[in-house]
Amino acid sequence: MISRRPVPGIGLALGVALLLSACGGEGESTPIDRAHRAQPVTPVFTDAGLPDPSVLAEEQVLHRDNGEEPQTLDPHLAEGVPAGNILRDLFEGLTAESPDGRVVPGAAMRWNISRDARTYTFYLRREATWSNGDPLRAEDFVYSFRRSVDPRTASNSANMLLPIENAHDVLVGRETPELLGVEALDEYTLQIRLSDPTPYFLALLTHSSTFPVHRASVEQHGARFSRPGNLVSNGAFVLADWQVRSRIVLTRNDRYWNAANTLLQRVVYYPFEDLSASLKLFRSGNLHWTYEVPNNQFHWLEQHYPDELVVSPWLGSYFFGFNLTREPFVADPQLRLALVLAIDRELITEKVTQFGEQPSFSLVPPGIGEYETQVPEYAGWTQAERNEEARRLYAAAGYGMDEPLRIEIRYNTSENHKKVALAIASLWKQVLGVQATLINEEWKVFLQNRSGRVLTQVFRAGWIGDYADPYSFLQLFRTNDGQNDYGYSNSLYDSLLEQVASERIPGRRRRLMQEAERVLLEEVPIIPVYTYVTKRLVDPHLRGWDDNVMDHHYSKHMYLLRSQNAPTPVAEAP
Amino acid sequence: MKSSELTGNEREAVAGEIDPFEAALRLGDVKGRSPWEDAWHRLLKNRAAVTAAIIMGVMILVVVIGPWVISWDMDYTDWDHTNSPPSLANGHWFGTDAVGRDILVRTLEGGRISLLVGFVATIVSLLIGVSYGAIAGYYGGVTDRVMMRLVDIIYALPFMFFVILLMVVFGRNIVLIFVAIGAVNWLDMARIVRGQTLSLKRMEFVEAARACGVENRDIIRRHIVPNLLGVVMVYVTLTIPQVILVESFLSFLGLGVQEPMSSWGALVSDGAQDMESAPWTLVFPAVFLTVTLYCFNYIGDGLRDALDPKDRL
Amino acid sequence: MTLDQGLVRQLTRRLLGVVPTLLLLITVVFFLVRVAPGGPFDTEKALPPEIQANLEAKYHLDEPLLQQYFRYLGQILVLDFGPSFQYKDWTVNELIAQGFPVSLTIGGVAMLLGFVFGVGIGVGAALRQNSAADFTTMGFAMLGVSIPNFVVAPVLILLFAVYAGWLPAGGWDWSWRSAVLPVVTLALPVIAYIARLMRGSMIEVLHSNFIRTARAKGLPERQVILRHALKPALLPVISYMGPATAALITGSVVVERIFSIPGLGSYFVQGALNRDYTLVMGVVLFYGVLIIALNVVVDLLYSILNPKIAYEEL
């Protein structure tokens, strides 16, 4: 019989060749070479500080990747970054933010703060209206604040409003929403009473849970009030179209009080979840703004997209936590300190995370006003010194090469967490001989195990500040706090935090918080690794935005420049 | 044989693959070559299958022995050479990944896992599928109908979703991956085996055994199952590559084996993310994966042809 | 036998069988998703227990499990899958209604391409068995089933979208351009698989007695192939296509993710990972119905292509 089949080698060779050619050609020059990419004209500004119309692109349509589908566009139910981005464009709270992140007047033109820092009086803009033309009144805010904390709304970000008087009692159903400390003094004057002085309160008012909703349309449409066609908003943009998991289109709100300065005609938000996919869409000109960029590709991006790659500090700390309620970490801070010291943070930020994250030895990230982040003494040592001290402490705790510490490191499924956990495990092994097992858990399982404090030993943690105040970070470690997955409990720390809450003099409050952080770090409940950065690609034609630690970028500030060679817009809808 | 007992798939299976044994068993085939020998010779003449088998053998050997020979550990992070392209100078012939782990040793270790998953999950599905199908087919009647209805129901369960839930509920460990994939993959096997059994049980030798008072259980074990071997072997060689692909799909979703272990699927899906910035992290594992799947498919085809009487024209 | 009572009787019987099948499916999935650790409203920012309670009350998750189960069954009777827990502004019905047309388009076209090209290539290869053309096409077909689609898809995007700029790199706007790459990615393994199936069964049929008889009678080769050989050779392809179509239409998770396409497939994964109980139940049930329906279609096609099969045993 004759052979009936080809030798597999032929097909194989073809397959391999195909693969290699597909991957090999990419390093060389391609049509996306930098020189071939359109460059924007140099912007020229008018006396009012606005870009001169002659430098603007004809089509002012922004294509913006938003990472994932927002869970909802009801501002009071919303949580998470994607929803927040869209809602800040659609709605406007009492305050807003400038491109660089300062709190500026929003729907309120100005405000007074009482001497005891517990009563805020807001004076609304008389020219502000809803997108359907209805005037925006103080009553609208009263209705909205009440709705936000009403237990029937079942908002999961209502705890943002807890500083307001009676908010907690309303939230748990002990009081009716009418008793919430928000009151309309007249049509355009709103008073909010707080239970404690809350210096970051004005910043809280940029959060979507404080945004006004249009009462008539909420009552008319119920759960469907956030649909296109139904949604009445008061921000610089209105909702024009919403294709689930495909796109959300906003158009300019001509009735916005500052509509004259809104330059973009349309903003299209895309929920692209896959970072490489998003990168490719950007490269083929379908996006002006990516949500993030793939982790491993810093050097490649820096080489190919230096003008587009934007990396800036973010108000977040990346750390690992110890479960202090479980051996071997119950008693011995020395062992924990050994593990903290043995990690070469610079190695991790340079070789693993790569995007310019700052090595960190503390909890609170730098960049919050005048707050001085507490830095332990060993932060100033060389890594060799730290390693030596780590070995000494490790041995003193009774471990060694013959009797290594065996622990588990838990993290949730993510490329970045995986790499950092790998690096930590590897460094511990190389410096101390610790035998660390990695356990990758799916998100919900991870959350449950972490807060359960039964299975965990060392676990991935981290925190992005809800508002630019150290308190957002420090409160995580209060005894029995819902977020206290570490089992940390220290009465001195708790009492310091209590004093912080009721302290209204900024300097004293700051010192109390610094003291609290120092107390915390001395007991080593966490392994600080680095402070976060945001990393994304932004079309150089897109201007008007600025870096800010909250990573809040309002579309109303942005505009598109004309290209040097072509007056035509660069992007088409994908 | 009443043809109404069989669905189309089974009919085809029966027509296609049972004859050589049937013929051999009927004739006793004392002098000539046994049907197995016949099949073996046909297989040996199939150059593609033989080449594939040889490559596969080498591959298994390399994957099993390689990690012991190579000086790198699969979880050793070489901080001086992270993201290094293939290089003879620094000893990372296939390059390194983002945390400086050697791709060569990881590819080989990954191969161990992938092949292990492929074999074990297939064996799991085989055990369930063969016993289930044989029992359903042999007893027939209500038993058969109920059992096959159950198979239909499980068919209506989206497979991927089911595996994901299993991984989520029971955590991520390699044994579970075997079981999850195997437990879902047995359905086809059960259907094929049932069809074969339906025809086998009407053969004279089974009738004879029954007439002699041999218990049903023993008939299934001694007479039915051994005669299913041909079909089963073909099925196995064609299922292994499928299972390896399923595992790679799980890895793509981030539900694969735990670090620092890896699999071809996990390596390829990681590499695919960086195919431009670090092509070596994709190409090497992808070639190993593809070659292996290729070989299994060729071996499977070869086996099927060898066991297929229609080719003895 | 006429096309006819047997068929009607069979169809009725099958439809009656659907109910217990679906009931079992609902039951299994309902309890399975609830066994999974974590709940739909667990987030990194641990909710105060009061808010958690408010949320659970709103979605009836505070009721005993059995009560929830029967509440759900009651809803299903009126075809109401309930609100999604994850996408709070939408009901599961709306999400499926938005996602299904997309999945159907991509999956359906991919299946069609797979069938046409697969059968064509398979028949071609079978007729030129052992020729160079046979070896080459089958070698390529083998490649199609040997490379994971999460490798194929990015390569296609790089080549045709990023470098060449002919097609969009992803996204979905109902234009043919946004459908090309995902459809091709989905279709490649299907073409490969069907081609291999078709080649095998065609060779078998060509060697069978009735074809030899037909040839002996001097019928033109073309007629032999088209009129006599094709039909029986299609049988294994048809039986493969039932479940494969359902899987393509609902389960293209990888392709949806890489091309950012708003189809149904991701809901199986996302729903499960987010513990979006209602969404998961909805898509699983939908899938169940789809696969049952497709199996009926396959059986019908089968009986048309091969009238010898008795309906009773379908």
Q: What is the mean pLDDT of chain B?
A: 79
B286 contacts chain A (CB < 8 A): yes
Helix H or strand E segment including A410? strand A406-412
Kindly report the CATH number assigned to the domain that includes residue A220.
Answer: 3.90.76.10
Q: Percentage helix, strand, coil, to 5, in chain C?
A: 75, 0, 25
Same domain, B236 and B175: yes
**pLDDT given at position A202:** 94
A130 contacts chain C (CB < 8 A): no
Same domain, B142 and B229: yes
Residue A185 near residue A52 (C-beta atoms within 8 A): no
In angstroms, the Cα distances linking A107 to A85, A91, A93, A110, B29 are 18, 9, 6, 9, 95
Overall average pLDDT of the A318-327 stretch: 93
Structural domain boundaries enclosing B91: 34-312
A137 in any annotated domain: yes
Give the pLDDT confidence of A265-316 residue by residue, as tens digits: 999 999 998 898 999 999 988 999 999 998 888 889 999 999 999 999 999 9
Same domain, B54 and B155: yes
A331 contacts chain C (CB < 8 A): no
Written as tens digits, the pLDDT of chain C (314 aa) is 455 666 777 777 777 778 888 888 888 889 888 888 888 888 877 777 877 888 888 888 888 999 999 999 999 889 899 999 989 899 999 999 999 999 999 999 999 999 999 999 999 998 888 788 888 888 888 888 888 889 999 999 999 998 888 999 888 988 999 999 999 999 998 998 899 888 888 888 888 888 888 888 888 888 888 888 888 888 888 878 877 887 787 668 889 989 999 998 888 888 888 889 999 999 988 988 888 888 788 878 877 776 654 443 43
A148 in any annotated domain: yes
Same domain, B6 and B47: no
Cα separation of A325 and A346, whole Å?
Answer: 30
Q: Can you give the pTM of this predicted structure?
A: 0.88
**pLDDT given at position C312:** 37
Q: How far is CA B181 from the centre of its chain?
A: 11
A4 contacts chain C (CB < 8 A): yes
3-state secondary structure (DSSP) of residue C297: helix
Cα separation of A150 and A180, whole Å?
Answer: 10
Is B99's CB within 8 Å of A419's CB? yes
A529 in any annotated domain: yes
Same domain, B24 and B41: no
Is C154's CB within 8 Å of A280's CB? yes
A253 in any annotated domain: no
Q: Using 50, 70 and 90 to split pLDDT, how confident is the model at B32?
A: low
Give the pLDDT confidence of B92-125 residue by residue, as tens digits: 889 888 888 999 999 999 999 999 989 888 888 8
- Residues of chain C neighbouring A18 (CB-CB closer than 8 A): 143
Q: Identify which of A71, A79, A281 has the shortest CB distance to residue C87.
A: A71
Kindly report the CATH number assigned to the domain that includes residue A460.
Answer: 3.10.105.10
Give the pLDDT confidence of A95-145 residue by residue, as tens digits: 999 999 999 999 999 999 999 999 999 999 999 999 999 999 999 999 999
A442 contacts chain C (CB < 8 A): yes
Q: What is the ipTM of this complex?
A: 0.89
**pLDDT given at position A129:** 95
Q: Which two tokens stand for residue A70?
A: 């927002």
Per mean pLDDT, which range of A521-525, B234-238, C109-113 is the poorest? Answer: B234-238
Q: How far is CA C186 from the centre of its chain?
A: 11
Q: Which of the pair, A36 or A443, is modelled with greater confidence? A: A443
CB contact residues (below 8 A), chain A span 53-72, against chain C:
69, 71-72
**pLDDT given at position B34:** 67
A283 in any annotated domain: no
Same domain, B96 and B131: yes
Q: Pick the closest to residue B151 from B127, B185, B126 (CA basis).
A: B185
Is C146's CB within 8 Å of B297's CB? yes
**pLDDT given at position B159:** 73
Per mean pLDDT, which range of A52-61, B41-50, C112-121 is the poorest? Answer: B41-50
Is A574's CB within 8 Å of C158's CB? no
Q: Using 50, 70 and 90 to split pLDDT, how confident is the model at A531?
A: very high
Flag whether pLDDT at A572 surpasses 70.
no
Q: Which residue in A has a C-alpha nearest to residue C56's C-alpha?
A: A154
The total number of structural domains in chain B stands at 2
A174 contacts chain C (CB < 8 A): no
**pLDDT given at position A36:** 62
Phi, then psi, of A113 in degrees rounded to 5: -120, 130
Q: Using 50, 70 and 90 to split pLDDT, how confident is the model at B16?
A: very low
A21 contacts chain B (CB < 8 A): no
Q: Which residue in A has a C-alpha nearest to residue B164's C-alpha?
A: A442
B174 contacts chain A (CB < 8 A): no
* B182 CB-near residues (< 8 Å, 6+ apart): B120, B121, B122, B123, B124, B125, B128, B243
Q: Identify which of A1, A22, A445 has the shortest CB distance to residue B45.
A: A1
Is A300's CB within 8 Å of B82's CB? no
Structural domain boundaries enclosing A442: 3-20+316-533
Give the pLDDT confidence of B172-218 residue by residue, as tens digits: 677 777 777 887 778 888 888 888 787 777 777 778 887 888 888 88
Phi, then psi, of A462 in degrees rounded to 5: 135, 160
Q: What percent of chain A is predicted at pLDDT more than 70?
A: 92
Same domain, A13 and A88: no
B295 contacts chain A (CB < 8 A): yes
The total number of structural domains in chain A stands at 2
Same domain, B89 and B51: yes
Is B4's CB within 8 Å of C313's CB? yes
Same domain, B15 and B144: no
A189 in any annotated domain: yes
Flag whether pLDDT at B154 surpasses 90.
no
Annotate A464-477 with b (16+ C-beta within 10 A) or e (fewer): bbbbbbbbbbbbbb
Same domain, B230 and B287: yes
Flag whether pLDDT at A325 surpasses 70.
yes
Same domain, A347 and A469: yes
* A163 CB-near residues (< 8 Å, 6+ apart): A194, A195, A196, A198, A201, A204
Q: What is the mean pLDDT of chain A?
A: 88
A3 contacts chain B (CB < 8 A): yes
Same domain, A14 and A77: no
Overall average pLDDT of the A174-194 stretch: 95
Domain C99-273 has CATH 1.10.3720.10: yes
**pLDDT given at position C3:** 54
Per mean pLDDT, which range of A300-314, B17-31, B104-118, B278-292 is the poorest? Answer: B17-31
A267 in any annotated domain: no
Flag whether pLDDT at A323 surpasses 90.
yes
A156 in any annotated domain: yes
- Residues of chain C neighbouring A223 (CB-CB closer than 8 A): 83, 89
B248 contacts chain C (CB < 8 A): yes
Same domain, B14 and B155: no
CB contact residues (below 8 A), chain B span 196-255, against chain A:
254-255
**pLDDT given at position B310:** 44
Helix H or strand E segment including B44? helix B35-45
- Residues of chain A neighbouring B76 (CB-CB closer than 8 A): 426
Which site among A244, A455, A481, A484 would you substitute to test the C interface, given the most C Cβ atoms closer than 10 Å to its Cβ?
Answer: A244
A30 contacts chain C (CB < 8 A): yes
* B281 CB-near residues (< 8 Å, 6+ apart): B95, B97, B103, B267, B270, B271, B274
Is A5's CB within 8 Å of B46's CB? yes
Is B273's CB within 8 Å of A351's CB? no
Which site among A2, A3, A347, A435 would you substitute to test the B interface, given the most B Cβ atoms closer than 10 Å to its Cβ?
Answer: A3
Same domain, A210 and A342: no
In angstroms, the Cα distances linking C111 to A36, C120, C191, C240 are 39, 14, 8, 11
**pLDDT given at position A566:** 55
The shortest C-alpha distance from B275 to chain C (Å) reads 8
Residue ranges of the domains in chain C?
A: 99-273
Same domain, B15 and B54: no
Same domain, A345 and A484: yes
- Residues of chain A neighbouring C95 (CB-CB closer than 8 A): 244
Per mean pLDDT, which range of A53-67, A238-252, B20-34, B213-227 is the poorest? Answer: B20-34
A564 contacts chain C (CB < 8 A): no
Cα separation of A525 and A322, whole Å?
Answer: 6
Is A294's CB within 8 Å of B286's CB? no
Same domain, B190 and B282: yes
